[in-house]
Structure formats: C-alpha cells, structure tokens
Structure 1
Amino acid sequence: DKAAEEVILVLNDEGLNYLLNNCFDKINELNYNGVGVMVLTRVTKKSMDQVRRLADVCRVRHVNYMPVNNVCLVDNQEFLIFRLEEEILGEGSKLIGMYSSEPEVLEALHFIVRAEWGASRDATYVLSLLERGLLPEEVLSYDASKFLNSALSFQVVSSLVNTLGKPEAYLLLKDIGKKLLQTISDRLSVALLREGLQDALKVISSLILFYDGVPAKMAYNEKTGILTCEFTNLVSSQYRLAAEKGLDVFPSIWGLVLLGLLDYYELDISRADAVFHPDENKWVIQYRLHRKRLPLTEEEEERLTLQL
C-alpha cells in the first residue's frame, strides 16, 4: 500500500501461485497508479499461463534458476523475504519470513536483485519460444533450491564433523568450497572474485540474505587478522540448529564457498570464537586468517638442509 515508485518481486513457483491467488488485483492497481512493478521468476511449461497473466499487468523477466526465498522489495526502502520451509524434525512445513527497512541490509539485497534483473530475459520472449517448441524445457528446468539448499548443507557439514572430526572435516569442506566457488561463479549474475577481500565479503553477505533469508555482516580486521561473521534474525531453522551445535562453518552453501574464496586470496582460516545469543536470535563466529606459507625454494631447502 505504501509503494510510490517501484516494487520488485522475486518469485519461485510457490510465490508465483501465492501472488496470483491473493495479490493480483493489488498488482493491477499499482500498475494503474503508475507504480513500476517488476517480477523475476522462472518460466516453465507448467507456469506459462500464470506468467502470461502476470505479464499483462507488469514487467516480467525470466531467470534460469530461482532462489529458495521469495523477495518483495519496495521503493528500496523496505523488503520482505518469505518461504515455506520443511521441518527438519517432524513432518509438515511452516511459512517463515523476515521484514526489514534497515538501510545496510536493503543496499545488499538491492545489489543482488538488480544484478539478477540485468542478467534475466524478457519473459514474453521466453514464452513465445516455448509455445513454438523452439526451446527445450530442460534448458529452463534447473532448480537452485536443489543446489542452494541450506538444509542439505547443514546435514553435510554436521555429518562430516561428526564422522571425521573437526580438523579432517575442515580440510574436506575447504576442498568442496574451492570446487563450488568455480562452479557457482559461472552461474551467478554477480562476480564473487573481487580485487579485494572486503568487497568479496560484501557480496557473500548479500547472497546469504538473498538465498538463505538471513541478514549477514562480515568484516575483516587486517590488523588483528580476525574475520567476524554475524548472523541475525535466524528465521532459518538450519542456522539456529548450527548455532546451537556450535558448528565451525555456517550451514549454507555460501559457508563452503567462503572457505573456497579465502583459499583464492591465499588465506588459511581457523575458528577463533563463536557465540550464540538465543534471546537476541544472533550468532557470531570469529575466524583467524593468516597468509598461506609459500613452498620453499630450492635454495631455501638447501640452506635448511645444511643447517640441520
């Protein structure tokens, strides 16, 4: 109701259904009143009628994959992230969401959403290709919820730590992170590898908010060598369980990517401290970063041998 200039919606199949069944008249009204409504969603043969209906009243663009969360960003002043999440323990699902108007969080989310919009394609064009049989649906059927899955990442991290112990699990997770960094970098619309670590950490924080629905702040103090990761409003049960268990790596594919990213910057990492504040719903992890030791040159090896 407060929107004056722009509403950006990022919708998965579940969010698209909800919008059309509950908010279609409102979208039509906003469009009639001159408010720009922009929708990012994935077009499939199953969703063709829904997308076509929505495209009649607002701008709709297609992305090849969708995040787990649905996002509503209003005038770059406030946003809502929501999704249905399956319970880890027990059956059924619950609707979880997060609302915020915090400027720093908004800036991070707007950065990712705009990047996704710039990399997307006009939905009506994709519809025309599907209707004429010129575009195989397999090209459109990649589902990021299977790839960017917090529940799966939580189970992987927990199992490895319990089975191998922390030191061995950490080395394996870092190797996984290096491979994921390369794979994901080819699929994202934003660059993960930046000139400086601080900029890269800002991008990771934005991706955690966009895909996991958890506000994250990452800051690296070069003087102390301490990287601080702060997670607030833990609406995701995986994050809360990980905080309670005291896991060294936060339960998201982005936690593994962070390990790979630090390796790219030739930094080794070890956990310095971690504190979970259940009353504040906040989890803070601190890591100690240090430069990797370069392999010895032949001259240095020879000198060391002579000394021994």
Structure 2
Amino acid sequence: MLTSFFSTSKPIHTIIVLVYMSVSYFVANNTLFSNAFSWKPFLQAVGVWLLFIMTLFILNFVSQKNELNKRSSYRILLFAVFASALPVALQSPKIVITGVFVMLALRRILSFRSGLHMERKLFDAGLWLCLASITCFWTGAFSMLLLAGLLFYGSTTLRYWFIPLLAVICVAILCTCYVIFIGEDQSYILSIIDDFSFDFSTYTSLTILIPIAVFSTLFLWTVFRYIQDSKRATIAQRPLYLLVIFMAIIAIAIVVVTDNKTGAEWYFFLIPLAIIMTNYLENASGKFFKEFLLWIVVLLPFTHYFLS
C-alpha cells in the first residue's frame, strides 16, 4: 500500500521519486528527442532538470529542518506528482528557475525562528525574492511572506526592516550595470514588469482544468486539518504553520493576477500544498481513505496524456 510504503523516509523512496521526476520531466520535454539533436537546447534542458531536482531536495531539507512534517516521504512524492501533472510548468525554464529562487527564500524565512544570523538571512531572502521577481515578476508578492516572517520573529529590531530593502538596492544596481554594459536603456529593465489579467479562458482545457481542480479540492480538504494542528503546535512552531498557509494564499493570488495564464503559474502553489497535504496524510485517521486519496494523486499526471 502506498501510504504504508511512503510513511517512512529511506534512500529507496528518494531514488524512486527521483526516477519518477526525471521520467516526467523528459517526457514533458520530448521535443528534445523528436527534433534534430543540438547541444545547446539539450544542455539547457539538463540544467533545468537539475534545478527541478534541486527544488525537491530544498523542500525536503526545509521541511525536516523546521519540523513542518514528520520523517516520511510523502512530501517529496506529492511534490513530484503534482509537478508532473503540470507538464506545461516543466516545459518552462523560467518557472522552474523561479521555483528554486522561491524555495531558497523560503528556506531563509522559515529559519528566522532560530534568531541567529538574522541580518544575513534577511539579506539572502530579499536577494532570492528579487531574483525571482526578475524571472517571474508576480512572484515578488512572496516578499509579503518575508515581512510576515519578520513580523513573527524580528519585529522589535528596527534595523531588520531595512535589510531586505538593501538587497533590493543591490540587485537594482547590478541590473543597471548589466543594462549599461549591453547597451540597452531603462525600457529594458521595465520590460520585466508583467501586466495583470483576470482572463481564465485557457483553463477551459481539460488538461489544465483537471489538475487545477484536484489541487484546489485537496487544498480545501486538508488545510482545515492543518489549521487545527497549528493550534495544537508549540508557541515557537505555530508561526511556521501560519507562514505555510500564507504562502499558499500568496501563490493563489499570483495565479489570479498572472497575465499569460498557461497553468504553469500553479507551480508555486505546489510547494505549500505538498507540505499541507503531507501533514494530513501523517496525522489524519481513516487509512482506507488516505490510501484512496494518495492513489488519485499518483494517477493524476496520467490524465494529461490520456486527454491530449
């Protein structure tokens, strides 16, 4: 049974998930094999694949380090399956690269609770979020997560509030130097700013609609249990629960305002969803229902290839 097999964390689980992710990624990018071979796109695809794998390891590290979940393999399985259900995201290097930046920022934000090296962590988080907003503009909204973490763990120290701004200034200076170096003008910098749109017409495609519907249903089903568990958590741990929920809310807001909606924008929502659903699988009763739920998730990516 899946729930029993992945209820522990062993190297074999990681190997299985990595193989699954690799197959899913290269199937999503099958044009590499159907077109005439070229080293440049091949090496780019391999680089993005490595970043995709890196995202999984950062997620696993962040979850274990901050005790967001127990020592099970659910979170890596769920993230791998959720991402595989969105091949359009795996086909976008920009989305995968931004996902790494967001995860690195989340790693720093959640580590605020230790109170150690706060200046360095604040600068790093601000830097990663600036880079994320350059590659995908609206992911800059995750800056609110940084401010929320600072509010929970460092609001009494005034200088902390200015350190993320310093990171923004540093990135702005570097970007300006780069633009001057390549001979462009300020319009080149302004081109990173995306428009917003509330047009969801692309979601009428079943290959996009079905995964989104499953993600939304799973979130609504499991988030209330997550909120209940946050109330039973220790005072030091409780803000971490709230930050994960807040991250999910921000990710949904990014989906709503993104201009060119392809379904790939849901990729950032998968990170908090994997954490929240893992908590449900680890703590909820009803073994048969959890098994049924996990099988639905595992089979979800196959619907895309069945419908396309």
TM-score by length of 1: 0.27
Higher RCO (Cα < 8 Å, 6 or more apart): 2
TM-score by length of 2: 0.27
Whose strand fraction is larger, Structure 1's or Structure 2's?
Answer: 1
Q: Larger Rg: 1 or 2?
A: 1
Whose helix fraction is larger, Structure 1's or Structure 2's?
Answer: 2
